[in-house]
Amino acid sequence: MRKNSGKSKIIRKALALQKFSQEQQGKSIGLVPTMGALHKGHLSLIEMSAKQNDITIVSIFVNPAQFGANEDFAKYPRRLQADAKLCEAAGATIIFAPEPKDMYPAPLQTFVKNIELENMYCGAYRPGHFAGVLSVVAKLFNIALPSKAYFGEKDFQQLHLIRKMTFDLNFPVKVIGAKTIREKSGLAMSSRNEYMSASERSDASSIYAGLLEAKKKHRQGEFSAAKLKAIIKKKIESAGGKIQYIEIANKSDLMPVKAKISEKAVILLACYFGKTRLIDHLEL
Amino acid sequence: MRKNSGKSKIIRKALALQKFSQEQQGKSIGLVPTMGALHKGHLSLIEMSAKQNDITIVSIFVNPAQFGANEDFAKYPRRLQADAKLCEAAGATIIFAPEPKDMYPAPLQTFVKNIELENMYCGAYRPGHFAGVLSVVAKLFNIALPSKAYFGEKDFQQLHLIRKMTFDLNFPVKVIGAKTIREKSGLAMSSRNEYMSASERSDASSIYAGLLEAKKKHRQGEFSAAKLKAIIKKKIESAGGKIQYIEIANKSDLMPVKAKISEKAVILLACYFGKTRLIDHLEL
C-alpha cells in the first residue's frame, strides 16, 4: 500500500506478465486497462490504484477486437514512450504493452458476450464492440491476475458490462469505477478529443451543458424521459453537433426508461462533432 | 503431490470455495468438474488429479445452463452422498456442490461462446449447450482457481472448446484430457447409460464396434469420410440405434473433413438407443 517511486518496468509478453503476477503472492495487484494516449482521467485511475495496492499494472493496448471495420483503429493515437513516463509519475509498477499478435496468437474463437446489453446504446452502432471489450478485459484479468481493476465511469455502459461480467463469471476481482474527469469547459476527457479542431472542441462543451440542463429540469420535477432527451438534443444540435443516440436508462440494470423516470437513472449519449464521435453520460 | 487419505470436505457456496482457494498459496490445486452420478471415468480423473496436485477439488453441479428446454435436466441422476464417498476414496480434498441459485444468483447475461464451433456437431442439436458449458467452466475456474483442470475425452467437442477457451482467454490453467473409460462391451461410460434397459445397453455396444471397424478400414487405406461414416451408420442401425450425426473432423481445429482425410482426424457421433442419447468418438 505505497506509492511506487521507482522506475516502471515495461513488459511486452502476456506469458511474462502472467508469470510475474503469479509470483506476487501476498501482494495486492491493481490493474488499470487502457488503450494509451493517456489523459488526466487515466492518470486518476493509476494514482488510485497506486494508493490502494502494492503493485499497479497499467496495460496499454489498442485492442483491434473492439474496433469495427470502419472505425478509427489505424488512427487511434499511439505514443508508448510518453505514456510510460506518465504511468511512472502516477505510480505504476508495470506497464504491459503487448503486440496484437501476442494477445491474439490465433484467431479468437472464444468471446465473452453480454447477450442482453451488448447491442444496446453504443453497442447498437458498434456491432461486436462490447464482445471485443469484454473478451480483452477477461484476457487481461487472467494475465495480470489483479485483486482490483480500475475503469473510468466515462465509458458508462462498458463499466456496467465489465461489472456484470465479473459478477456473472465469478472473477476474483473487485471492479472499481472512477469519476469522469472533465476539461474546464465540461467536455469529458477522452483520447479522441484530440481528433477535433479547436472550434469543434469548444462546440462540444454543449454536451455537458445539455446534460446539466436536463439534470436541473429533472430536479425541478420533470420525469419524462422524452422531454429531458429533447433538452439535450436541442443544446447539442444548436452547437453544430449531430446526435447518434440519447437514452435514459435505469442505473441498476441499464434497461431503458420507456416513459417516466421511476428509479435512479442515467442519461447516456453519443454524438458527433465534425467526424469525431464522442460519448458522455450523467447520473440523475 | 500426495494422495489425500483424509475425509473430503463438502463446500456448498462459491464464495467460500473461492476464499479457500485464495488461501492455498504455494499449493497446487487440481479441479475436476462433474455433474455427479460418478462412474469410473470420473474417478480416473479424480485419481489423476490427486496424484498430480496437493489439493483436488471435485465440483458436482448439474448445470441448468447447459440443458435445453426438452432435455433431461430434471431426470439427470443426483446422488450427492454416494458421490461424496466415491470422491473421498479417489482422493478428493474438497467436494464443491453448490445450489443453482448460488451459481446463478441473478439471470446470467454474460456468456462465454465459441462463435466458430458452438453450433457444430453436438451443438447443432443442442442450441445453447456449449455456451452453458463454457460459461460454467469459466465460473468454476474463477471460483476454484486451479492450476490444472481435468476433463474426459469422451466429451470430445466439449474438451476441444474448453482447451480453446482457456487459450483464447488466457486462463492460468492447464487443461488435461483423460482417455475415455469403457465398459467391457466397449460402450463409453456415461452417467446417461443408466437410462437404458439391459437390451438397449447391449445393443449400444455397436457404437464402439462401428468406430473400431471404421478405424480398421481407414488403416487399410480408406480415406473417404463418407465411406467410413457409412460403415458406422450401418453397424449402429443394424443394432436398432438411430443416428443423430456422424462426422469426421480434423483433430487440430475440429473442422469437418469434407471428402478425404488428409491429417490427424477424429470421428464424432451422437445416436439414440431407445430414448437415450449417447455420444462417442474415436481418433483415427
Q: Which residues of A touch B135 (CB under 8 A)?
A: 168-169
> What is the rounded distance in angstroms from the CA atom of residue A39 to the CA atom of residue A77?
12
Say yes or no to pLDDT of B246 above 90: yes
pLDDT of residue B123: 98
Average pLDDT across chain B, whole number: 96
> What is the rounded distance in angstroms from the CA atom of residue A88 to the CA atom of residue A56?
10
pLDDT of residue B2: 45
DSSP element (H, E) containing A207: helix A206-219
Say whether A160 is catalytic. Answer: no
For testing contact with chain A, the best of B29, B31, B109, B118 (most A CBs within 10 A): B109
Q: Residue A5: pLDDT band by 50, 70, 90 thresholds?
A: low
Say yes or no to pLDDT of A224 above 80: yes
Give the CA diameter of chain A: 56
Asked if the interface predicted TM-score (ipTM) of this complex is over 0.90, the answer is: yes
Q: Check B112 against A169: CB less than 8 A apart.
A: yes
pLDDT of residue A199: 97
The mean pLDDT of B104-117, rounded to a whole number, is 97
A76 to chain B, minimum CA–CA distance in Å?
A: 24
Domains and CATH numbers, chain B: 9-178 (3.40.50.620), 191-283 (3.30.1300.10)
pLDDT digits (tens, 9 = 90+) for B50-92: 999 999 999 999 999 999 999 999 999 999 999 999 999 999 9
CA distances from A211 to A23, A229, A284, B10, B98 (A): 46, 9, 9, 53, 45
- Cell 499494472, residue located: A57
Say yes or no to pLDDT of A1 above 60: no
pLDDT digits (tens, 9 = 90+) for B196-225: 999 999 999 999 999 999 999 999 999 999
- CB of B29 within 8 Å of a chain A CB? The answer is no
Q: Please name the residues in contact with A17: beta carbons below 8 A apart, sequence gap of 6 or more.
A: A11, A57, A94, A96, A143, A144
The mean pLDDT of A11-31, rounded to a whole number, is 96
Among B128, B122, B73, B77, smallest CA distance to B100 is for B73
Question: Considering CB atoms only, which of A115, A138, A171 is closest to B109?
Answer: A115
Q: Which residues of B touch A116 (CB under 8 A)?
A: 109
- Taking CA atoms, what residue in B is nearest to A14? B170
> What is the rounded distance in angstroms from the CA atom of residue B20 to the CA atom of residue B4?
17
DSSP chain B: -----S--EEE--HHHHHHHHHT-TTS-EEEEEE-SS--HHHHHHHHHHHHH-SEEEEEE---GGGS-TTSSTTTS---HHHHHHHHHHHT-SEEE---HHHH-SS---EEEEETTTTTSTHHHHSTTHHHHHHHHHHHHHHHH--SEEEEETTSHHHHHHHHHHHHHTT-S-EEEEEPPPB-TTSPBP-GGGGGS-HHHHHHTHHHHHHHHHHHHHHHTT--BHHHHHHHHHHHHHHTT-EEEEEEEEETTT-PBP-SB--SSEEEEEEEEETTEEEEEEEE-
Question: Considering CB atoms only, which of B142, B143, B169 is closest to A110?
Answer: B169
Give the percent of chain A with pLDDT over 70. 98
Q: Residue B5: pLDDT band by 50, 70, 90 thresholds?
A: low
Which amino acid, one-letter code, is at B103?
A: M
Touching B: A residues 141-170, CB under 8 Å: 142-143, 145, 161, 164-165, 167-170
Say yes or no to pLDDT of B1 above 90: no
Among A113, A257, A159, smallest CA distance to B131 is for A113
> What is the rounded distance in angstroms from the CA atom of residue A88 to the CA atom of residue A94?
9
Say yes or no to pLDDT of B93 above 70: yes
Q: Check A170 against B117: CB less than 8 A apart.
A: no
Touching A: B residues 117-146, CB under 8 Å: 117, 134-135, 138-139, 142-143, 145
Among B212, B227, B276, B225, smallest CA distance to B255 is for B225
DSSP element (H, E) containing A236: helix A225-238
B160 to chain A, minimum CA–CA distance in Å?
A: 12
Average pLDDT across chain A, whole number: 96
- CB of B14 within 8 Å of a chain A CB? The answer is yes
- CB of A6 within 8 Å of a chain B CB? The answer is no
> What is the rounded distance in angstroms from the CA atom of residue A5 to the CA atom of residue A3?
6
CA quadruple A143, A144, A148, A150: dihedral positive or negative? negative
